[in-house]
Amino acid sequence: MTGSHPGLQLGLVLPPCLTGDELRAVARDADDSTLHSLWVTDRTVAGTPWLDALTVLGALAGVTRRVQIGTSVLVLPRRNPVHVAHALATADHLTGGRLIAGIGVGNAAVSGPEFAIAGTDMTQRGRLTDEYLALVRRLWTEDDGDTSLAPKPGRHVPVWIGGSTSAAAGRRGAPVTGGRACSALPAGSAPGGVKCSTRLTGTAATPPSWCRPRTCSARSTRTA
């Protein structure tokens, strides 16, 4: 399995539900390849089996040694930001600084029931995301009385903002992810398919042979 091309970084977006053996096998295979990253998705009441994103992130931290791991994307405004800051800092600590925090505001058509369960007004999700992001960053870098977290990340954790709106592109202080994502089934992977996520840096490239695309969606690369 290869994932390195000039100007191109490839990452696997994992299926929503794998067995423990499948997760470990895919993670170790990715870690032994030249893939850039492994990504977990975030749903709670999806109507289909879906593993908890932060729990899977911890499992990946314990199995991998090289590949970066991240959330694609964590819907921050429906969660307690202190708990999120702690969980992500823990994952970064356990991986020795290999975490990418992918953050999103959620989609009304998809995330509505999950916001209702959390008791959060979905119309306020943009404002809450800005407030929570600022708090997460502060908890990662400062001591704040009774809410001080330790251990703190020993570096500046990359925060990528998911979304296609101008508000997402303008989210304060965080880079916006860009590139291309395509549904694919790598040879020898677990049933159910794995998404191959690419981040372009100016050079078009053909996905490697194991990534056989079915459908693709493009996103522009931009830095806030």
- Supply the pLDDT for residue 192: 40
CA distance 80 to 177: 23
- The boundaries of the domain holding residue 157 are 4-223
Residue ranges for the chain with pLDDT beneath 50 = 1-2, 4, 171-224
CATH number of the structural domain spanning residue 95: 3.20.20.30
Of 77, 74, 105, 111, which is closest to residue 91 (Cα–Cα)? 74
- Supply the pLDDT for residue 169: 53
Name the CA dihedral angle for 111, 117, 118, 120, rounded to a multiple of 10 degrees.
Answer: 70
- Supply the pLDDT for residue 168: 54
- Supply the pLDDT for residue 144: 72
- Supply the pLDDT for residue 213: 35
- Supply the pLDDT for residue 108: 85
For the chain, how many structural domains are there in total? 1
Query: How deeply is 218 buried, as exposed, middle or buried, from its count of CB atoms within 10 A (0-12, 13-18, 19+)?
Result: exposed
- Supply the pLDDT for residue 163: 65
Phi, psi of 174 (to 5 degrees): -130, 140
Q: Are 156 and 173 in contact (CB under 8 A)?
A: no
- Supply the pLDDT for residue 93: 97
Q: Where are the beta strands (DSSP E) in 29-128?
A: 37-40, 68-71, 74-75, 99-104
CA distance 58 to 63: 9
pTM: 0.76
